[in-house]
Chain A
Amino acid sequence: MGDILLDVIDLKIHFFTDEGVVKAVDGVDLAIERGKTLCLVGESGCGKSVTCRAFLRLIANPGRLVSGEMHFRSSTNGTIDLAQLDPKGSAIRDIRGKEIAMIFQEPMTSLSLMHTVGDQIMESVLLHENVLKPEARDRAIEMLQRVGIPKPDRLVDEYPFRLSGGMRQRAMIAMALSCNPTMLIADEPTTALDVTTQAQILDLMLDLQRQDNMTLMFITHDLGVVAEIADDVAVMYLGRIVERASVDTIFNAPQHPYTQALLRSIPKIAMQRDELDPIKGMVPSPYRRPSGCTFHPRCSRRIEACNRIVPSVTELAPGHTVRCLLYENIQETEALQHG
């Protein structure tokens, strides 16, 4: 693999609730390459959003970062382990919004209703860069122009409720990109939008990424979007990454039974209307995680050992890893896990 911007090693985030411990992220390893688009895919509750929030140390109580390392190559301060930083300290605040920016799913709830679009963009510029207000305002207008908002000099003084869904999401992107971040995390940025608007926003994000050689981490549950934009894909299930490969491998030669089943269960625009092949059962409750491989109760290729042994990460080819007992030496893993 080429130039790694963020290297995540064995990340664990657990939520200590009254009903018990929820292992939302349970041992995630993820290397994110500079300038590439990585899609993190999974169903609701699989831990994809929590993983990305952890990069910015935005995990709120009762969640806690239990263990793990997150080595980030800062453009100014060398390599930093984000896991070691104080979540409220100045070091992480220098990174948040400046080096790693984030776009959230619902643009109406993540924009402040009480401030104009321009003020919200200027806020992060004034915070991170040594500029004065008029300069920041010019930057806000320039950013709005870049994301394709018509009449940016007028819209800069508008409140978010005056904008349509697509325009609000553009304003969010303008805000995220205002400080030229090295990495942009987009958490389901197009899920709430219509297909035509979604296509526009995706194209816009890819164009901006190319212009700035930005690293894009894209969280989604929509495999169609993944097929359109990703370079690399990581598939998550119940807090673990079960398969990681190039987008071509994921769609044309997936190896993990979950990835395979997911692809079979999507309706496609095809000549024939075949019956869908759904994954049986439901995603289990986070309080009652299955033992061994968490996917085993729903897996069609389950073997006897699946309910006892947690599969380890197996590399099938350079850049293609999978967590499944079908691809590893079971005796070896068992010996490791049970001493």
Chain B
Amino acid sequence: MARQVTPGNGKNMADDQNLLEINHLKMYFPITQGLFGRVIGYTKAVDDVSFTIRAGETLGLVGESGCGKTTVGRCIVRGYQPTDGEMLFRKADGAVVDLSMLQGEELRPYRKEIRMIFQDPYSSLNPRMSVFENVSEALHVNKMGTRAEMEERVGYLLRRVGLRPEYMKRYPHAFSGGERQRVVVARAMVTNPCLIVADEAVSALDVSIRAQILNLMEELQADFNLTYLFISHDLSVIRHICDRVIVMYVGKVVEVAEGLDIYINPQHPYTEALMSAVPIFNPRQRDRDRRIHLEGEVADPSNPPSGCYFHPRCRYAEDRCEHETPPLRQIDAERGHYVACHFAEKLELRGAVIE
């Protein structure tokens, strides 16, 4: 089988700009049957995914539901033990560690470095804990400071995310959705992390609140030199916040490109279809014919099609696509554009409508 190229660089984190390097990450979930849980197959939620995150950037991860984007995020925070692959993380002192090899207590120092923001602020805060307890839990677990120091840190962070420090004694039910999401952001920030995995962090919020949280995240990034992995299905939010974008389809990376590049110059037919479906915010540019209708349904990750997973729905598919899995390969070295399609050079694809 053709080895995939790692976007960005080769092995052992040659590029010291990289904060995290994911190589051939696989996360298979067993499908069991019967009384004794006999394994009859695997759902390949993440299937040989490689990419890098550069220090200080915002990397977008897009795809439709079930494409494995959330699973990638959870592997990185080690909510899951990956089936295979490496996740090389550069520590503050410059040493490189493979997160996928660590177990239990060994992971503890990295849980402070890599934090997560979840989608739904109503279910991700513990309703029985006050805001102070919710935010300071990680400090407590890691024995970082006295009670007074913790209160000072939480108070500082609440002020930083735009809430009054006095609010730390209140419980989550007293806050609106937007305020809760601010608390969730403060909680992620409490251990002074270098990488934040934001899984659909603004998807559940109203438009006026969404803009506030996006601005807040950008401010915090500048002030604390944060790196974000921003997982979302919303392409206009991704355009707004991300420096580079990765597109996933059924557990695989199909395209990686610089922010604007992926919108104006998509090279994978799936990316093209995705871009064509984004609503345009101007009724004068309404054009239903621009939309590409994908035939059929998203492939089943436990029983994916042969060859290129996208071929049954692809308008440009040829025989080769059915038999041969296209590797992710670089097509534009200068701009770091990678694509997994046999015919990327041949196809003339349309980009999104740019306003």
Contact = CB atoms under 8 A, between A and B. Distances in A.
A196 B313 CA distance: 12
B102 interface: no
B279 A228 contact: yes
A194 B206 contact: no
Contacts of A268: 236, 239-240, 281, 355
Given A248-B284, A273-B259, 17 more contacts: A43-B206, A195-B64, A195-B235, A196-B294, A199-B293, A224-B278, A228-B280, A251-B284, A266-B281, A267-B211, A267-B239, A268-B239, A269-B278, A269-B354, A278-B211, A278-B215, A283-B206
Contacts of A195: 64, 233, 235, 274, 277-278
A52 B109 CA distance: 52
B206 A203 contact: no
A84 interface: no
A248 B286 CA distance: 11
Contact of B239 (A200, A203, A269, A277): A269
Nearest to B276: A199
B274 A196 contact: yes
A334 B353 CA distance: 47
Contacts of B209: 278, 282
Given A196-B274, A261-B208, A265-B211, A271 B64 contact: no
A310 interface: no
Contacts of A260: none
A59 to B, nearest CB: 23
B318 to A, nearest CB: 22
A262 interface: yes
B64 A196 contact: yes
14 contacts: A43-B206, A44-B206, A195-B64, A195-B233, A195-B278, A197-B64, A228-B280, A251-B283, A265-B208, A266-B236, A267-B211, A268-B240, A269-B353, A273-B239
Contacts of B210: 265, 267, 278
Nearest to A225: B279
Interface in B232-257: 233, 235-237, 239-241
Nearest to B213: A278
Given A44-B206, A265-B208, A224 B236 contact: yes
A200 B237 CA distance: 21
B304 to A, nearest CB: 16
A291 interface: no
A196 B279 contact: no
A234 B210 CA distance: 21
B179 interface: yes
A225 B236 CA distance: 13
Contacts of A247: 283
B199 to A, nearest CB: 16
A117 interface: no
Interface residues of A, number: 46
B263 A275 contact: no
A164 interface: yes
A221 B206 CA distance: 8
Interface in A149-190: 164-167
A277 B211 contact: yes
Specify which of A206, A221, A224, A248 lies most central, judged by the most chain B CB atoms within 10 Å of its CB: A224
A22 to B, nearest CB: 15
Contacts of B236: 224, 266-269
Given A266-B211, A269-B353, A228 B206 contact: no
A279 B352 contact: no
B64 A194 contact: yes
B1 interface: no
Contact of B260 (A43, A206, A271, A277): A271
Query: Interface centre among A194, A197, A199, A206, by most B CB within 10 Å?
Result: A199
Nearest to B290: A199
Interface in B279-299: 279-284, 286, 288, 291, 293-294, 297-298
A266 B207 contact: yes
Interface residues of B, number: 48
B274 A282 contact: no
Interface in B199-218: 206-212, 214-215, 218
Contacts of B277: 195-196, 198-199
Interface string A301-321: 000000000000000000000
Contacts of B178: 282
A230 B214 contact: no
A276 B240 contact: yes
A227 interface: yes
Contacts of B282: 227, 251-252
Contacts of B64: 194-197
Contacts of A194: 64-65, 233
Contacts of B281: 223-224, 227, 251, 263, 266, 268
A138 interface: no
Given A265-B211, A269-B236, A276-B211, A203 B291 contact: yes
B32 interface: no
Contact of B214 (A198, A276, A282, A283): A276
A278 B212 CA distance: 6
A86 interface: no
Interface in A215-257: 221-225, 227-228, 230, 247-248, 251-252
Contacts of B207: 43, 221, 223, 262, 265-266
A227 B286 contact: yes
B293 A227 contact: no
Interface string A106-126: 000000000000000000000
Nearest to B237: A267
A270 B353 CA distance: 9
A33 B215 CA distance: 40
Contacts of B218: 275
A248 B273 CA distance: 26
Nearest to A165: B65
A38 to B, nearest CB: 14
A75 B298 CA distance: 42
Which 6 pairs from chain A and chain B are nearest by CB? Answer: A224-B279, A278-B211, A267-B240, A279-B208, A199-B277, A265-B211
Given A248-B283, A273-B259, A275-B215, A199 B239 contact: no
